């Protein structure tokens, strides 16, 4: 299946949304410092406005059903990128893609996804569905969809969770496998003993809910080590085995190239 086939029944709905670009960044294992997963981010190439980041266009797109074919396009490109990563022998458990809340609210959400992954021959277990923390303000329909998606083999991750408005009971309701912490938490680490105690307690609470916390915005090996001491198993940013990603989202060919360069350096060492 290609992009034209995804769009053929939705041409009017997604007019002007055809030119998307997916970028990716690794999520590192705190112990091995190697890439465990990959996270995706979508860009929209608008003829009149240039390249738009998700925060610019997603609120508009998610106001109606245009978000669903756009999500399918993003998912298709992400699946293709995952296949290329696997072909280059990149070892990773899953690759993520953001799922719109409008789709999660639908009772047929799981059927839509499983039908699509079945058509393209993708393994659900290689896909992690990113869910924004705004889901905490939503009705129970989203939590029901999340549970069904997990039963269908998809991984789930809630993103943008901060320490100020940490909704402990709501996270328990949604039962995510992964919780991605806001960068503000990383900025507070190491400031003083009280801040570190709060961060460590937050990580412990998340783990006690049978979810794996993921730190973001880690800018040094020292900070990565601090999170490891707090039993935060994963993070995005620098201080990795390759050391030069710095948390940036890159086109899939650059991910493959950097991995190849790292392998060459290891073989020459």
Map out the domains of the chain with their CATH numbers: 3-268 (3.20.20.450)
Q: Are 177 and 207 in contact (CB under 8 A)?
A: no
pLDDT at 262: 56
Contacts of residue 107, Cβ cutoff 8 Å, sequence gap at least 6: 141, 144, 145
Which backbone phi and psi does 123 adopt, to 5 degrees? -85, 125
Nearest by Cα to 164 from 194, 137, 185, 187: 185
Q: For residue range 211-236, list pLDDT tens digits in order.
A: 999 999 998 888 989 999 999 999 99
Average of per-residue pLDDT across 183-196:
92
Residue-averaged pLDDT of the chain: 84
pLDDT at 263: 55
pLDDT at 112: 96
CA gap 227, 62 in Å, rounded: 34
pLDDT at 172: 87
Average of per-residue pLDDT across 179-199:
92
User: Taking 60 as the threshold, does the pLDDT of residue 7 lie above it?
Assistant: no
Structure tokens at 238: 């620098």
CA gap 37, 162 in Å, rounded: 21
Lowest mean pLDDT among 54-68, 135-149, 191-205, 224-238: 54-68
pLDDT at 59: 73
pLDDT at 15: 47
| Pairing status of strand 212-218 against strand 178-181 | parallel
pLDDT at 11: 42
* Residues 185, 102, 211: CA angle, nearest 5 degrees: 40
Q: For residue range 75-134, list pLDDT tens digits in order.
A: 999 999 999 999 888 889 999 999 999 999 999 999 999 999 999 999 999 999 999 988
């Amino acid at each position: 299946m290609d992009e034209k086939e995804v769009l053929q029944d939705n041409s009017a709905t997604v007019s002007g949304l055809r030119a998307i670009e997916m970028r990716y960044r690794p999520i590192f294992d705190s112990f091995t410092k190697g890439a465990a997963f990959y996270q995706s981010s979508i860009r929209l190439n608008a003829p009149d406005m240039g390249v738009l980041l998700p925060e610019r266009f997603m609120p508009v797109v998610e106001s109606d059903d245009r978000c669903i074919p756009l999500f399918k396009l993003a998912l298709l490109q992400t699946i293709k990128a995952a296949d290329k990563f696997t072909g280059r022998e990149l070892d990773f458990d899953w690759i993520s893609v953001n799922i719109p809340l409008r789709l999660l609210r639908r009772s047929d959400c799981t059927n839509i996804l499983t039908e699509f992954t079945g058509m393209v021959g993708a393994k659900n277990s290689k896909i992690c569905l990113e869910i924004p923390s705004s889901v905490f303000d939503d009705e129970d329909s989203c939590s029901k969809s999340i549970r069904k998606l997990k039963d269908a083999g998809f991984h789930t991750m809630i993103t943008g969770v901060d320490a100020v408005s940490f909704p402990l009971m709501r996270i328990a309701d949604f039962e995510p496998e992964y919780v991605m912490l806001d960068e503000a938490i990383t900025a507070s680490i190491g400031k003083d003993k009280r801040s570190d105690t709060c961060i460590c307690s937050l990580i412990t609470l998340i783990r006690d809910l049978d979810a794996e916390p993921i730190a973001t915005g880690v800018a040094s090996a020292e900070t990565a080590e601090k999170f490891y001491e707090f039993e935060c198993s994963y993070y995005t940013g620098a201080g990795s085995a390759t050391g030069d990603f710095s948390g940036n989202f890159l086109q899939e060919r650059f991910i493959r190239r950097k991995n190849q360069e790292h392998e060459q350096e290891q073989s020459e060492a």
